[in-house]
């Protein structure tokens, strides 16, 4: 029943997807200029402003997939090769390496904390009950504490929204990662009560959710438009290696009475990821979205015919 209730937001999201406007840039790549202009006009109207005078034009569109090839697999390979080449180009290589490590850390720490919250509460009680199955011995007070720690995700989302515009994305993300590491330190060095452990896990979870929220935004903004979606998807998929490692850290080590080692691993990864974030060369807050030479979106400002000669007309004598 609980699983069915938790799926309701996803069902609502699926129903609302048709109401989302299409990307103007995507429409331009398909040559649908009028639809792109209609979306921009609607965006301006909702925001209480107006578009600059002129018209939107896609001056050049390049498709990297081999349009003459009948092999879809080859087209996919060409697109993937082009995207990877762009990601690790000299101009973006440093950002990509540091960012992809941070993605792995975010995923591993987030899922590690989710599992660690349950494991630590189960460890406070009897180790396990049952015969062959290892069922965590959790009572009502443990469920309450786990629920409180889970509510930290809402706090992390709100704080991310408030901090990005004020401090920028890189400083916000680094601050969240450092805060998560600091919040876990008392679990390593002190014998805390259940309520004290819950407070530390609450703060750590709020921090990693805030970092996870910021990294999605930063990844989408730091790369050129033509590969923005590809990089976001690739980085998200790459981060799942961290999710795969989380159970080995947060469950296996705790079950073997080495919960201190699990906490040290998460702390160390967050500290390194926070440092990597500060070493990234580009802050995207307040910066215009970057494009490259594949697709140029231009607004041709309307001028008087007498001011600007026709492009094909000879120069005045």
Report CA torsion sign: 220, 13, 79, 65. Answer: negative
Q: Give the pLDDT confidence of 23-74 residue by residue, as tens digits.
A: 887 788 777 888 888 898 888 888 888 888 877 776 554 444 445 545 677 7
Residue pLDDT, tens place only, 229-260: 889 999 999 999 999 999 998 888 888 888 88
pLDDT exceeds cutoff 60 at 129? no
Task: Give me the pLDDT at residue 296, please.
Answer: 37
What confidence tens digit (pLDDT) does each residue in 179-216 have? 999 999 999 988 888 778 888 999 999 999 999 999 99
**54/298 Cα distance (integer angstroms):** 9
Residue in the structure block whose two tokens are 């200029």: 33
Q: Which of 177, 267, 263 is nearest to 218 (CA)?
A: 177
Determine the straight-line distance between the first and last CA of the chain, rounded to whole angstroms.
Answer: 82
Which one is predicted more confidently, 174 or 149?
174
The more confidently predicted of residues 142 and 17 is 17
């Amino acid at each position: 029943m609980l699983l069915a209730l938790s799926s309701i937001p996803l069902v609502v999201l699926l129903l609302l997807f048709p109401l989302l406007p299409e990307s103007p840039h995507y429409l331009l790549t398909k040559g649908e200029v009028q639809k792109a202009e209609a979306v921009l006009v609607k965006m301006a109207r909702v925001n209480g402003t107006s578009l600059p005078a002129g018209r939107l034009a896609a001056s050049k569109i390049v498709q990297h997939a081999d349009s003459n090839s009948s092999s879809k697999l080859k087209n996919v390979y060409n697109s993937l090769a082009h995207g990877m080449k762009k990601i690790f180009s000299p101009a973006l290589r440093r950002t990509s390496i540091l960012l992809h490590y941070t993605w792995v850390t975010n995923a591993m720490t987030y899922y590690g904390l989710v599992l660690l919250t349950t494991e630590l509460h189960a460890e406070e009680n009897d180790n396990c009950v049952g015969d062959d199955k290892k069922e965590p011995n959790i009572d009502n007070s443990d469920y309450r504490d786990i629920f409180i720690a889970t509510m930290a995700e809402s706090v992390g989302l709100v704080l991310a929204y408030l901090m990005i515009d004020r401090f920028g994305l890189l400083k916000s993300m680094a601050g969240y990662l450092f805060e998560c590491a600091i919040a876990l330190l008392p679990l390593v060095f002190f014998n805390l009560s259940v309520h004290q452990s819950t407070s530390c896990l609450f703060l750590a979870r709020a921090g990693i959710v805030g970092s996870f929220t910021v990294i999605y935004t930063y990844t989408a903004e730091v790369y050129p438009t033509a590969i923005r979606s590809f990089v976001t998807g690739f980085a998200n998929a790459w981060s799942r290696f961290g999710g795969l490692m989380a159970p080995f850290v947060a469950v296996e080590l705790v079950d073997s009475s080495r919960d201190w080692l699990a906490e040290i691993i998460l702390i160390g990864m967050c500290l390194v990821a926070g440092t990597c974030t500060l070493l990234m060369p580009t802050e995207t807050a307040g910066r215009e979205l970057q494009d490259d030479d594949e697709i140029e979106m231009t607004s041709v400002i309307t001028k008087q015919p007498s001011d600007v000669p026709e492009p094909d007309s000879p120069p005045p004598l």
